[in-house]
Amino acid sequence: MTYQEDVENFMKAGDQPIQENLTLNGAQPELYMNLITEEYKETLEAFQEQNMIEVADGLADMVWVIMGMCSSCGIDFEKVWNEVKASNMSKFIDGKAIKNEAGKIMKPESYFHPDIKKALGL
């Protein structure tokens, strides 16, 4: 079972709609966008306070509400994830990453942008 399926089971039990078609309209996407914002702020506060337990809880809560947002908008997260993963892996040359001074992995010529439109079936 995937994270999105876990959240959809919760949503079904709570009589929340799961969208089959892509949409950003309606009360449900608005609710989940507000929940994402709330969970992010709580996680940021926990991080600033160096509270590992609350950071871990906040990270899990963010994944939960992000999956809820996907299901509320008709987004198949797995398809989008796979496209983004392929794009990110194109940043490696012969299995090696090029990093800047801060440690961020940079985009070499082999990098390609994720085709989110394709992943969404548009």
Q: What is the pLDDT of residue 101?
A: 94
Task: Please give the model's pTM, rounded to 2 decimal places.
Answer: 0.89
Q: What is the pLDDT of residue 95?
A: 87
| CATH 1.10.3420.10 residue ranges for the chain | 1-75
Output the six-digit token pair for 57: 């809880």
1-75: CATH topology is: putative ntp pyrophosphohydrolase like fold (1.10.3420)
Residues 13 and 24: their CA atoms lie apart, in Å, by: 22
Q: Which residues in the chain show pLDDT less than 70?
A: none
Output the six-digit token pair for 4: 């999105």
